[in-house]
Amino acid sequence: MGSMSLRFRNTLGGELQPFQPLEAGKVGLYTCGPTVYAPAHVGNFRSFVFADLLRRYLQWSGYSVTWVLNITDVDDKLIRRAAAEGLGITELADRYAERFREDMRLLGIGPPDVMPRATAHIDEMVALIRQLLERGHAYRTDDGSVFFSIDSWPAYGRLARLDPEQQRVGERVEADEYAKDDVRDFALWKGPKPGEPSWSTAIGEGRPGWHIECSAMSMKYLGASLDLHTGGIDLVFPHHEDEMAQSEAATGQRFVSVWMHCAHLRMGGQKMAKRTGNLALPEDVYAEGVPPRVLRYALLSTHYRTGPDFTEASLATAASSVERLSTVLLALDAYREEREDDLSLTPLLEEAHQAFRSHMDDDLNIAPALGAVFDLVRELNRRLADRGLSTADAARAADALRDLDRVLGVAEDRATPEVDAAVQHLLDLRVAARNERDWARSDALRAELAELGVTVEDTADGQRWRRSTEPVHG
């Protein structure tokens, strides 16, 4: 069961609050997903890695989590891009949705329980818009559009803490493009236009606005009230402000208990290498020899509400941290020593577990939580070097570290990946060659394995191997 002291900072109100799920032991988590008109870049993935860290931590804490991450597959940018490439919107969306799934898999994100696509939920959006029309929170315009009436909803602006007199900035629809009653009002439904996709529905022909998509999909899968809603800080306004207004106006219930937003990465400028530039893609980073798990570590190792610098130095730090964690796991697995158990090990493991938990309970305070993990790694390395552990101790310590890595998902772990038969055969041949002291053959086999992406090392405890390009497991 979940910890009693778990607390999150709620963007709504800005306070640190004890986390109380609506239903004991269960959590509904909604994350605003990508608009699939182009590949998502590293900055986008920071917010998905954050949502995944939150999801993993909740599960590790004993909650049963339902995680919904949507795919926006119809919007202005996507329509323009599809037209420019001479593709249908579905074709373009399929291409980048597939790419997004693959990027998530490599980064150890999810998979989410549900990945709903907007165009498969037009009926739910229309039902919501009809409710808003009936309740007097929305109105139609001559071109077949429907707008949310901000004047009808005095609570508008609570999430972003807007000055009521403030004009809307960053609205997607140009003020002069549609005839709105109030410049602040936002489109729930956009009337049909030549050359744009549209649906024939009970509220007429047209297509949905962006914000209504997330209200319809989150409430369909998680209910009218949900526990957690995450996204990048840029989504607070107008997207989440609008989602909250239209959802609560339609249902009369509180939409979300806790809103959590993560800060932007501070990316390198034009002069930086491609892999740390403003629009770096994960594949640009991997192409320069950074494994996915190292990128994941770099994205999650700073508190989600602060913007980490994404630089060569932060990638180097991430690489050495992942290496330390992976190496101690390999060493613990290979370790054999006939001796009495180390009685101080159990308290050491428990202390690390408790420290990790108490920091993560504090609004996912990741930096000191990682500090607790690496304090433990340092202690274990010392005991391994002193041969102060028994074989059973080493196995217990490896289990404890793997348990913490269920939350982090960064360790390279040879226990997890499946070995194909060809690789296993070469590994076995190499062990045999070494037993026969045939060093030339052993070196030749090492080179052959390297060509298959498998790195072999020889240690006091025998041959160890790992893959250099494995996706993150866990």
Residues that bind Zn ion (CB under 5 A): 32, 214
Rounded Cα distance between 44 and 32, Å, is 11
Residues 248 and 155 sit within 8 Å (Cβ to Cβ): yes
The helix/strand/coil state of 187 is strand
**DSSP secondary structure of 236-290:** IIIIIHHHHHHHHHHHSS--EEEEEEEPPPEE--TTS-GGGSTT--HHHHHHTT-
What's the min distance (Å) between Cβ of 225 and Zn ion? Answer: 17
Q: How far is the CB of 10 from Zn ion (least distance, A)?
A: 18
Give the H or E element holding residue 190.
strand 186-190
Residue closer to Zn ion, measured from CB, 214 or 325: 214
Which CB sits closer to Zn ion, 32 or 40?
32
Residue closer to Zn ion, measured from CB, 32 or 331: 32
Closer Cβ to Zn ion, 214 or 267, answer by number: 214
Asked if residues 178 and 187 have their Cβ atoms less than 8 Å apart, the reply is yes
Question: What letter represents residue 268's amino acid?
Answer: G
Residue 207 has a CB neighbour count (10 Å cut-off) of 25
- Cβ at position 29, least distance to Zn ion in Å: 13
Q: How far is the CB of 32 from Zn ion (least distance, A)?
A: 3
- Three-state DSSP at 463 gives strand
Quote the DSSP letter at residue 136.
Answer: T
The least CB distance from residue 226 to Zn ion, in Å, is 13
Please say whether the beta carbons of 392 and 274 come within 8 A. no
Using alpha carbons only, what angle is made at residue 89 by residues 83 and 91, rounded to the nearest 5 degrees? 110
Token output for 110: 């999810």
Q: Do 175 and 183 meet the contact criterion of CB atoms below 8 Å apart?
A: yes
CB of 288 to Zn ion, least distance (A): 32
Report the nearest approach of Zn ion to the CB of residue 55 (Å). Answer: 17
Nearer residue to Zn ion within complex by CB, 184 or 229: 229
Query: Is 150 strand, coil or helix?
Result: helix
Are 258 and 28 in contact by the 8 Å Cβ rule? The answer is no
68-to-38, 213, 222, 228 alpha-carbon distances in Å:
21, 13, 8, 10
Nearer Cβ to Zn ion, position 32 or 389?
32
DSSP secondary structure string for all residues of 397-420: HHHHHHHHHHHH-----TTSSPPP
Q: What are phi and psi of 254, to 5 degrees?
A: -65, 130
Residue 207 — φ and ψ, nearest 5°?
-140, 160
User: Which of 169, 172, 194 lies closest to 76, judged by CA?
Assistant: 172
70/314 with CB nearer Zn ion: 70
Find the shortest distance in angstroms from Cβ 238 to Zn ion: 11
Q: How far is the CB of 446 from Zn ion (least distance, A)?
A: 50
Q: Smaller CB distance to Zn ion: residue 32 or 456?
A: 32
Q: Which is nearer to Zn ion, 102 or 234 (CB)?
A: 234
Q: How far is the CB of 423 from Zn ion (least distance, A)?
A: 43
Selection from 186, 185, 178, 175 nearest residue 213 by Cα: 186
**Residue number, 190 or 359, with CB nearest to Zn ion:** 190
Comparison of 243 and 379: residue with beta carbon closer to Zn ion: 243
CA distance 104 to 107: 5
State in angstroms the smallest separation of the CB of 28 from Zn ion.
15
Angstrom CA distances, 459 to 65, 172, 326, 446, stand at 42, 60, 15, 14
- Which burial class, exposed, middle or buried, applies to 193 when counting CB atoms under 10 A from its CB (0-12, 13-18, 19+)? middle
Smallest distance from the beta carbon of 200 to Zn ion, in angstroms? 25
Smaller CB separation from Zn ion, 218 or 314: 218
